[in-house]
Amino acid sequence: MSAAPLASVLFVCVHNAGRSQMAAGFLTHLAGDRIEVRSAGSLPADQVNPAAVEAMQEVGVDIADQKPKILTTEAIQASDYVITMGCGDACPIFPGKKYLDWALEDPAGKGVESVRPIRDEIRTRIEALIAEIDAEQQA
């Protein structure tokens, strides 16, 4: 029987097709079931960006089976961390949640060569987020 997750994280970007999917993929890959992971978008796309899928596969993280999801107030309320990636005012604010805004370039319409640096920046931020969550649990 596994313990309850240390925290719950929701990644939000407009289309839930690139940045938020890559972030969710990295967090799931690096933290396993220690952290509950969600992603959503205010205007979800029809599919995850193929260049994002390819870029993630290059580093051993498979997000090919993911589908863009609509952002709901329930998802926000169920999360400890809400990390926005360019959704602006589309994200409602609830007390008691930790909100972070990661200014990341939008990979929409870009080839895999242009998506790699965005992917690598997301991984760096995910590693720092895991360290922060672990530190809070030990405090």
Q: What angle do CA 14, 17, 22 make, to 5 degrees?
A: 110
Catalytic residue among 10, 37, 91, 118: 91
> Is 93 considered catalytic here?
no
**Which residue is it, tokens 């360019």?**
86
> Is 86 considered catalytic here?
no
Structure tokens at 133: 């969550």
**Residues 63, 115: contact at Cβ < 8 Å?**
no
* Distance in angstroms (rounded) separating the CA atoms of residues 105 and 14: 12
Catalytic residue among 63, 87, 129, 130: 87
> Is 128 considered catalytic here?
no
**Strand spans (E) along the chain:** 7-12, 35-40, 81-84, 98-101
Catalytic residue among 7, 9, 10, 13: 13
Question: Which residues are annotated as catalytic?
Answer: 13, 87, 91
